[in-house]
Amino acid sequence: MRIVVIGLASGLVGAAIKTRVFRSMLFGVGLADRITFLFVSANLGSVALFACYIPARRVTCVEPLIAVRQE
């Protein structure tokens, strides 16, 4: 999850810079539209959380001894 947080932080900084560059193309979104940035960050964060959670939960169902013997 540390990588996700770093990616979200760098994405927010990049988005803040890009909104100033593409100001004329963005209709209805201000330079620092916090609601949009928050919504997109929350969506990406929840997708990343589920992407990490589902395989981790699956691994907890495997017996450690069986996993070691198959290696």
Mean per-residue pLDDT over the chain, rounded: 81
**Environment class of residue 41 by beta-carbon count within 10 Å: exposed (0-12), middle (13-18) or buried (19+)?**
middle
Q: Inform me whether the pLDDT recorded for 32 exceeds 70.
A: no
Among 2, 1, 3, 14, smallest CA distance to 40 is for: 14
Q: Could you tell me the end-to-end alpha-carbon distance of the chain, in angstroms, rounded to an integer?
A: 27
pLDDT at 28 over 70: no
Residues 30-51 have a mean pLDDT of 82
Of 3 and 24, more confident = 3
Query: Which pTM does this prediction carry?
Result: 0.61
Amino acid at residue number 38: L
